[in-house]
Amino acid sequence: MKLYSNEISSASSRVRIALAIKGIAPEILSVSILGPDAENRQRDYLALNPQGLVPALLTENGTLITQSLSIVEYLDERFPQPPLLPADLEARAFTRTVALAIAAEIHALVPPRVAAQLGSLGLDANAIGDWNRHWIREGLGAVESLLNGRRSGRSGRSCQYVAGDTPTVGDLFLFPQAINAERAGLPLALWPNLAEVVNNLRAVPAFAENAPAPRR
């Protein structure tokens, strides 16, 4: 397998964490995603992945899989141990809910291509930073409410991670987004339940070693 990835990409981080949990080491090909000459916008990469996004996974039989959630679920189905989705159906739905709340409601509004478009409309770096912080704060606030509601529904018993006492898909999405929130100047103390989960994940090597790198 080949993974097209970028070290600062939170979406790539999700897949690298999943691979580490599964003990899989594909060939990793770095694709630049910042600046006018970014490789993800060049003809060669667009011929491979017309969306021009990372991550992208090329399987051994030449099938390309894009979108981090699709890649993670493919890996989980192909390499079922240890599982990344809970056996309990409600817990499985909940961890997917958290993953999609981040992928669809936060990340979709703050990637480099959105920042580039905002810049082309005349927003300066400070205004773009405010945009990003607004949507991260609003999105993670909703995730905090989800985590709090699940805890209340479990008679106050705290889960170590998003959906139980082992990391699942929701954790793969939450952790990189939380790291980026801190780098944007939003302390995780704003969201106590979320902060507790993230602090637990920091102690898991697969997460700590595959967090998104800071932008240079």
What is the total residue count of the chain?
216
Q: What is the pLDDT of residue 35?
A: 87
Question: Tell me: the pLDDT tens digits for 156-190?
Answer: 567 899 999 999 999 999 999 999 999 999 999 99
- The model's pTM is 0.95
Task: Report domain extents, the chain.
Answer: 2-78, 89-208
Q: What is the pLDDT of residue 154?
A: 60
- For the domain 2-78, what is the CATH code? 3.40.30.10
Contacts of 65 (CB under 8 A, 6+ apart): 56, 57, 58, 59, 71, 74
Question: Tell me: the pLDDT tens digits for 99-119?
Answer: 999 999 999 999 999 999 999
Pairwise CA distance, residues 209 & 205, whole Å? 6
Pairwise CA distance, residues 89 & 83, whole Å? 14
The sheet with strand 2-5 has its strands ordered as 27-30, 2-5, 56-58, 64-66
Question: Tell me: the pLDDT tens digits for 58-108?
Answer: 999 999 999 999 999 999 999 999 999 999 999 999 999 999 999 999 999
Q: Do domains 2-78 and 89-208 have the same CATH topology?
A: no
Strand-pair category, 27-30 with 2-5: parallel
Question: Tell me: the pLDDT tens digits for 202-211?
Answer: 999 999 999 9
Does residue 153 register a pLDDT over 80? no
- Given the candidates 3.30.70.1230, 3.40.1190.20, 2.60.40.1180, 1.20.1050.10, the CATH classification of the domain at 89-208 is 1.20.1050.10
